[in-house]
Structure 1
Amino acid sequence: MTEAFQDGWGWWVIALAVGVPVAFVALTEAIGALSRRGNPIARPLRMLRNWVIPSGALFALLAFAIQSPADQVWVRIVATVFGFLLILLVLSAFNVALFANAKPGSWRERIPSIFVEIARLTLVVIGLALLFSWVWEADVGGLFTALGVGSIVIGLALQNAVGGVISGLLLLFEQPFKIGDWLNAEGVQGRVVEVNWRAVHIDTGSGIQIVTNATLSGASFTNMSMPAGPYSADASVSFSTDDPPHEVMALLLDVADGLPMRSPGERASVLYAGSGSYAVTIPVAGPADASVALSMYLSWLWYAARRRGFALDGDSTDPLAEPHMLAHALTVIAPTLHLREEDTEPLMSSARLERYGVGEVVLPSGVVPDEVRVVVSGRAAIAVEADGGRIDVGTAEKGELIGQTALTRERTQAVTVAGEILTVVVLPLDVVDELVRTRPRLASEIGESLELKRAQAQARLDELGVARGSLGSR
């Protein structure tokens, strides 16, 4: 027994028998605690516990406890495996230390993963060469010389291809854009959906356009998602020179500010360029909303211009302005208003027809209407504005009234929006007052309809758990 401790192998046996289990228990507890916190250090510690310590213990057992000759094959194999695992552990630890907790926007966060992988492969090759040189006494000098000469030859043969790859990698390192950004690169406009070491994939809306990184690095392009903040959707429209510019500009602003895509807290702007031309700038959240916002804006503007009698694109014609259209509409709404045949002619001079596009606000909340509208065709949605959004509480169908609170001189507490192409007859308040005065039954029906709509709106809000005071119908 004394000889065992004098030779030293006894101490190694005791150290391995006690130290390895203690290290396993300590590392298991540490890994469990770090994993629950989501700490990236748990990964290299897990490799240390599962691979490095067992292989190191086996190497220590063979080389120091059993005292096998250093040139024995099994000792060299175990030493090689242990050395290789040790290299991987060191690289994993460096990767966690440098990149796992990199701050957004820092140089460590911007380094593409392919750079890290190439550096890791290079270090592994160098480490293996040194390991084989130490353990197996291999001459790796000739190997490095051959690799150097071969790399030069391959580089000269593939300089164009390699140059493109390097340009792409440098572009990735700079990171002038990221996934989800909108680019305009040499006429290709769309959203970036994938970035790899060779090319950028851009969703143009009609397919995926592949643009090589080398092409982007050698040309100029526009990142439409930068800088952060509202993105501007621009439209150029023209009216007749007979239309008053300030009234047209007010109309353009009203339509633009009603768009649901408009950035909250931002207002549209309009510039008059003369000769009936106007430039409209609409703030939206990003390029993805720009095309949808412009499409909706131009369609709404067509209806709004006709309602105001302005000549959008030099054309002010409106089929609804034909007298027979109004006469037909009055026959449609006659049962609702209890109209008699002799009422048609007076109403032809005071009433008018209006048409609204899908999504347009027909009557906002918080106003006292001075006109009453009767639905001729289409459907309107009635909604209460709460918590920054709208809650649908009812509809207005063919023959129903919009803006009955004009009769009670109350403010509307619900917004009325065209749910589809909506055509209404607009009646001045004094005309409706006269109809109500001479038709007691009509007054009763309007009052009942108003109370019914209020009750329906309140029931809907109660169902959703939204608190609100008394509601004006429409």
Structure 2
Amino acid sequence: MTVKRNPALHWIAVALAALILSVSFAWAQFTDEQSAYFEKWQATAARADEVIAARRASNAALEELRKDLVRYRETFQKLRNSNAARIRTLEEQIAALGPPPEDGQTEPEEIARLREELNRQLTQARVPGIVAEQAYSRANGLIAEIDRIIRDRQKSELLHRGPSPLNPAHWGEALAETAEVFRGLAAETQAQISAPSAREQRTENAPFIAGLIALGLLLLFRARAWSHQFGDYMRQFGGRGTGVWNFLVSVAVLALQFAGVVAIVNAVRLSGSLGFRGSLVLDAVPVWAAILLFYAWLNERLFDARHADAIVFLSPQMQDKLRRDVTAASWLLVLQGVVGLLAQIETLSEATRAVIAFPGIVLTALVLYHINRLTRSEEPKEREPSERTGLIRLVRRIVRLLGMTAPLLAAIGYTVAAEALIYPAVLTLTLFSVGVILQRFLTDLYGWLSGKGCEARDSLFAVLAGGLIALGAVPVLALIWGARIADLSEIWAKFLAGFQIGDTRISPTAFLGYVLVFAIGYVLTRLVQSGLRTSLLPKTGLDPGGQNAVVAGTGYVGIFIAAMVAISTAGIDLSSIALVAGALSVGIGFGLQTIVSNFVSGIILLIERPFAIGDWIEVNGLMGYVRDISVRSTRIETFDRTDVIVPNSDFITGTVTNYTRGNTVGRAIVPVGVAYGSDTRKVEKILLEIANAHPMVLANPAPMVVFQGFGADSLDFEIRAILRDVNWVLSVKSDLNYEIERRFREEGIEIPFSQRDIWLRNPEALARALDGTAPEPDPAPAPPTAPSRPDTRTASAAPTPPDLNDMDADSDR
């Protein structure tokens, strides 16, 4: 839909803009150079308005006008933030004066005069930025309108339906016009060759012409041999078996052969034998040669079975067919270029253009269909296709659809749309193949440098390299499918412009500056931490836990300062995002309250230091050594040599037992039981001798033996001793127990064990049951004889059947 402009409103808007700009210039007191620049900008903007309103300029003229507008816009974008430092200084000075007096109040004359002068300077400093902002917006709008016009024209051209190439009435006209183009080209070339000026030019440049032709032929025929000799020489420095040098050799062959073609083309140009039409053809020859050479290189890299680094492994017959298809595709691309050149040399009718383009479209569709059929027949049958296989199948379906659609569109007259579908499809497959080849080369290069060899093809680097190549291929893919370079540059300009948050503009440049400054601050923080940990703190009297707390606190403070400095350096105004941060803080508080609780608990632990790294602690039934204290959690190594991550909030809200807080001195308790009738004083003496003899037991305070009491089976004693290092408590207990057992055995002191007497109720019934006789009534069961402890339970008066599980067990304790 085209929106008609009102000429009167248009010129009124132009006049108002000129008035605003003239007033702004007077306020800003621009220099003569700046005033002249803005006058040129106004003239360019007015001309752009006229061109856009007329809509009669060609696409080339619109593109040139757009380039001028882009240059102006870049200048205005830089001027938008001009005088920013001066404006901040003036605003701070005005803020220092305090708020202006309210109605009915006055302020001292000197302050009022100073406030007025500062406000005047502030207004004057802001004017250039305001003018640049207005000019930037206008340039941006004009560029958008030009882009819209060009896109509308491209859309109309794609949807335009012309004559059908299948109509035989157009064939004779097409043949005649094509022949006329070639006759005119031949006549022009013949006349140019026979011209005296051309003969004189050939005579003067004969040595250069002969030298360029000889050089071109030498490069064409010797490029492969020279490149392989270079590769054989470089392989002695490493990289054998990785495919790196094979790739570089193939690229060298391609570059040398193309250089040979360029040398021959320049020789022909120096001869002066071509006219205007011939020069157009000669300019296109390097492009056509590059297409043919590039697809030959593509064939070699994809299907050459002689190299171990070949990417596509197929049967020899299948590889030959695919190579022929790729070669045919390259010649069809050249044919498409020839058709476009013929239309550029002579003004061909629409029917002729459709007739000569139709064979190339059909043949290209057939080549795509044949490639699709061959690759589908060689595809491995997988129950669960991988992501790469799924992508290949999707691309194959799209290519098949385009190959079927393009000839039909061309047959009914949509020639431009058919060419816009079929040839980009070929170039898309080419781009996909080049991406795979580059990924293989980068992976092989990484395998060579890292020493992994061919194993690097299955590494993470291969995936990352493929992702980067795919990201870089997106702009190229957009250009293939009809995007203009101006469209991509516009997207890039908007990306560089960034986005606005309050009064602050966030741009990639500011973000990169933030990352760089933060990275420097982070590295400096780590260096300071390393210096404290290895050089300074070990020379102080701080314990290891205190040293760890100082190092960790320094890291947190350093990272916080680095972040603040980076934000300030990037020009990000924190006050502009304070409202957003305040709104988000509520949701973050509820969603991340556990993390925040652990974070605050970690800070408290680092400050209070109830335990340190290396301490033996117990929390919530978990016992072990503290190995690491971070801001969110603490890592404890248990005695099973397993690491347990405990949230810091558990140490603040729970009970923590620290066995080695401040020092490693601790107590060991060893319980001992002896039989009834043993000499208790002798036992006490032996136990004291054993305790005092152990090297880990301190003499002051001296160990002691406690007679705990009379147990069910033994007389209970305890050795209570203070150890030099409580971390060895288990070893000390084991040593003491070994020594106690040896001494008691030598002294004849018995260490008792639990004894149990079992009596059965109704033993006669049990005996009869075992003999197989019937039970007889037993009015009163006999009491047990000589029980170790009388049973106070009442026996049953009635006879009971024998039950093997009917037994009581009493323990003598």
Say yes or no: TM over 0.5. no
Query: Which one has the largest radius of gyration?
Result: 2
Higher relative contact order (CA 8 A, sep 6+): 1
Provide TM-score, normalisation by structure 1: 0.42
Higher strand share: 1
More helix by share: 2
